[in-house]
């Protein structure tokens, strides 16, 4: 299920609209993930406040979205482009890769909310494929 | 037995009350067939599914979308007994239609995206999303229950 040329064009043009609101989108996606999938809170026991829109959630939402932005810029070779991030997730954070799917889902929900006119089925499938490809690249160094 | 908080019950029934099955059913099913094209395996008789435009404009897809989405009504009206309510439907999905239960999750996610787009951030808050996704997960579980 690799990204076609058309998928990549769709992703890059959609991302141009997303980028200015990246922090807000990242914050909302993370907030929703923590509420809808409470098992994900286990990775953030060191935060004082896990409620939607809290300071640590906001800060981390921004971090996550800059990772996604990096992935967009390296869309032609995600595996090599995201090696460092993969090492981080594999050796330090040790996030179970099943959670990448969960966060991806919440990102898609927020994109749908924020871009009801742009998030057509074609954009949806391209973004879903992209986030799956990013998840795969992030899992690269796990074992 | 599933336990629902009062907040969850009211979120689910509140959302359902605002959803137009005739509008959202076709959208959700079309989105499923586009985002997860392997699900088209069940719809060989539906005619032209060759492109997103064809799928969105296909009247059989639209009709079936209304049927499927309309099926959720019984679950909303029987929140405390979804498993029993859907026992027959579960047998049908397993024995007659042979649907991979993972498809229930895929369709649920497409429905959630359509609901999110329709109702926006002030209505579809994280708490409402939690209740809605929990509801769809219970429905999916009930539909998978009679598989063997």
**Cα B57 versus chain centre, distance:** 20
> Which two three-digit tokens encode residue A99?
């959670």
Could you tell me if B120 and A116 are in contact, meaning their C-beta atoms sit under 8 angstroms apart? Answer: yes
Q: What is the 3-state secondary structure (H, E, C) of B31-47?
A: HHHHHCHHHHHHCHHHC
Question: Chain A to chain B, count of Cβ pairs less than 8 Å apart?
Answer: 53
- Cα A62 to Cα A56: distance, rounded to the nearest angstrom: 10
> Which two three-digit tokens encode residue A31?
């907030």
According to DSSP, residue B80 is labeled: G
Residue B1 predicted with pLDDT over 90: no
Q: What is the pLDDT of residues A89-143, one digit of tens each?
A: 999 998 989 999 999 999 999 999 999 999 999 999 999 999 999 999 999 999 9
Rounded to the nearest integer, the mean pLDDT of chain B is: 96
Residue A1 predicted with pLDDT over 90: no
Measure CB to CB from residue B116 to each of A113, A120, A125 and give the nearest one: A113
CA distance A13 to chain B (A): 19
Could you tell me if A106 and A32 are in contact, meaning their C-beta atoms sit under 8 angstroms apart? Answer: yes
Confidence (pLDDT) at A49: 96
Q: What are phi and psi of A16, to 5 degrees?
A: -60, -35
Q: Do A109 and B112 make contact, defined as CB atoms within 8 angstroms?
A: yes
Which residue from B minimizes the CA distance to A32? B126
- Cα B27 to Cα B81: distance, rounded to the nearest angstrom: 28
Cα-atom radius of gyration of chain A, to the nearest Å?
Answer: 15
Instruction: Please enumerate in sequence order all residues whose Cβ is within 8 A of that of B92, keeping only pairs 6 or more positions apart, or say none.
Output: none
Confidence (pLDDT) at A80: 97
- Max CA separation in chain B (angstroms): 45
CA distance A116 to chain B (A): 5
Kindly indicate the confidence band of residue B148, based on its pLDDT and cuts at 50, 70 and 90: confident
Q: What is the pLDDT of residues A59-80, one digit of tens each?
A: 999 999 999 999 999 999 999 9
Confidence (pLDDT) at A78: 97
- Cα B118 to Cα A56: distance, rounded to the nearest angstrom: 29
Could you tell me how many helices (H) and strands (E) chain A has, helices first?
7, 0
Q: In terms of DSSP H, where are the helices of A3-97?
A: 5-18, 22-36, 55-73, 78-81, 83-87
Q: What is the pLDDT of residues B51-107, one digit of tens each?
A: 999 999 999 999 999 999 999 999 999 999 999 999 999 999 998 998 989 999 999
Q: What is the pLDDT of residues A27-42, one digit of tens each?
A: 999 999 999 999 999 8
ipTM confidence = 0.82
Could you tell me if A108 and A84 are in contact, meaning their C-beta atoms sit under 8 angstroms apart? Answer: no
- Cα B46 to Cα B59: distance, rounded to the nearest angstrom: 9
């Amino acid at each position: 299920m690799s990204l076609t040329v058309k998928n990549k064009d769709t992703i890059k043009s959609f991302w141009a609209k997303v980028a200015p609101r990246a922090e807000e989108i990242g914050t909302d996606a993370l907030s929703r993930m923590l509420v809808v999938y409470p098992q994900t809170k286990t990775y953030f026991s060191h935060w004082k406040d896990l409620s939607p829109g809290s300071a640590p959630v906001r800060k981390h939402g921004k971090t996550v979205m800059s990772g996604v932005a990096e992935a967009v810029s390296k869309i032609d070779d995600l595996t090599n482009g995201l090696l460092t991030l993969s090492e981080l997730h594999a050796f330090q954070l040790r996030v179970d890769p099943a959670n990448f799917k969960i966060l991806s889902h919440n990102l898609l929900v927020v994109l749908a909310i924020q871009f009801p006119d742009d998030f057509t089925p074609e954009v949806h499938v391209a973004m879903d494929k992209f986030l799956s490809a990013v998840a795969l690249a992030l899992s690269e160094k796990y074992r | 037995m599933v336990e629902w908080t009062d907040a969850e019950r009211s979120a689910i029934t509140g959302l359902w009350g605002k959803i137009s099955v005739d509008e959202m059913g076709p959208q959700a099913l079309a989105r499923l067939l586009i985002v997860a094209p392997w699900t088209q395996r069940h719809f060989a008789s539906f005619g032209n599914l060759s492109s997103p435009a064809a799928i969105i404009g296909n009247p059989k897809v639209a009709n079936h979308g209304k049927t499927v989405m309309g099926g959720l009504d019984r679950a909303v009206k029987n929140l405390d007994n979804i498993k029993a309510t859907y026992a027959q439907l579960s047998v049908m999905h397993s024995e007659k239609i042979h649907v991979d239960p993972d498809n229930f999750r895929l369709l649920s996610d497409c429905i959630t995206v359509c609901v999110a787009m329709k109702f926006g951030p002030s209505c579809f808050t994280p708490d409402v999303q939690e209740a809605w996704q929990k509801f769809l997960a219970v429905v999916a579980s009930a539909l998978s229950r009679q598989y063997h």
